[in-house]
Copies of this chain bind each other. A is one copy, B any other.
Amino acid sequence: MNAITTPRRGFSPTEFETRVERARQIMHRHKFDALLVSSPPNVRYFTGFDSQFWESPTRPWFVVVPLDGDPVAVIPEIGAPEMALTWMKDIRTWQAPNPEDDGISLLKSTIEGLPRKYGRVGTEMGREMALRMPVSDFLKLRDTLSLEIADGSPCIWEIRMVKTPAEIEHIHYICQIASDAYEALPASITVGESEREIVRKLRIDIARRGADSTPFMPAISGPGGVPQIVCGPHDRLVQEGDVLFIDTGSTFDGYFCDFDRNYAIGNISDDAKRVHDALWLATEAGIKAAVPGAKTDDVFRAMAKIIEEAGAIGNNVGRLGHGLGMQLTEPPSHRLGDGTVIVENMVLTIEPGMEYAPGKMIVHEENIAITKDGPRLLTKRAPREMPIIR
């Protein structure tokens, strides 16, 4: 159903070698002998291991990326046959679940056996990350290891914030699928349908068009705007005069899109139209500002100026866009004080939003990749006027 070609699933061994080689250069600067990762996107980033089994929190999984030598997967036996299909050569397993020692002694001996230069291991301790293991086990490991465990998040984000061309093509593809589904939606829904049924239709259509999953699809409707943008759908029936807001993080082969669309249910107020137009222009300004060398603060300012002039009374989102990739949201943030310098091959959302009257928010969002010549739109740009549902 899409004009663009489906990207090849997975990535070549060369891609993983390149990722690890670049990671090592960054690790050197951060003075780490190894990175230890446990969360799904980080495990997948370095190994290519794909599974929906992360839904089961029973067993921890680990990957150690040393400065010197092959990356090592330290994983439950249940995952060994599939890990063996990836580029990974060094796979060490234990019989899990084993509450007395769920991989910790095997992980410890793996790390202790690495060459040492800095005496430090970086792990997922900091911002926008969480360890996917019991923290009791983490503390036990930290307290008995002869190397220091330090916050590796800034290092890992430095690695993952800049995408490879193959990663960008994955994100582009899922953005195109969701764009087409958003565009087709008005033809299949009517006034008086529930938010929940509308979401069900859109979920099914996105699956049909080739998405693997839709972990994120909040939807909410309200007269002239909505009170929040991260929960729903509810059983509310959409009514004349409503703005219907739908956002989605759908995935293809492990990569997310993250952008919303707004629909007018019949005739909406002039105020809602005016604010929608201001936000469309703010999006234009945000995209234009996202050039190599600019800071996230600059992107924020370009949008904030238009939003303020349009009469914003608030915005509970706390920022105007963010990074995107194997997670729905990643660093950086378009907010004052973030200070991230934008570079080629970042993928960002541009997400201006505002509350213009109590309980009435409108939020726009597009996804872009940064090229050396400037921003490249990955989504199909939202129409300047809201599509009308009758």
Contacts and interface: CB of A to CB of B under 8 A. Distances in A.
Interface in A126-184: 126-136, 138, 151, 153
Given A129-B134, A131-B131, A228 B99 contact: no
Contacts of A79: 228, 230-231
Nearest to A50: B231
Interface stretch (A27-35, A52-60, A367-375): A52-60
A132 B134 CA distance: 11
A59 B311 CA distance: 27
A127 B135 CA distance: 9
Contacts of A235: 9
A190 interface: no
Interface in A253-308: none
Nearest to A256: B55
Query: In which size bucket is the chain A interface?
Result: 35 or more
A59 B331 CA distance: 12
A13 interface: no
A157 to B, nearest CB: 11
Q: Main SS of the interface on chain A?
A: loop
Interface stretch (A66-74, A105-113, A312-320): A312-320
B127 A53 contact: no
A130 B134 contact: yes
A78 B228 contact: yes
Interface string A76-87: 111111100000
Contacts of A138: 135
A189 interface: no
A127 B328 CA distance: 27
Nearest to A78: B316
Interface string A83-110: 0000000000001111100100000000
Interface centre among A53, A131, A138, by most chain B C-beta atoms within 10 angstroms, is A53
A133 B130 contact: yes
Interface of A: 9, 50-53, 55-59, 76-82, 95-99, 102, 124-136, 138, 151, 153, 200, 203-204, 207-208, 213-218, 227-232, 235, 249, 316-319, 322, 327-329, 333, 335, 359
14 contacts: A52-B230, A56-B327, A56-B328, A57-B329, A78-B230, A78-B318, A80-B228, A80-B316, A81-B359, A95-B318, A97-B335, A102-B127, A130-B134, A204-B207
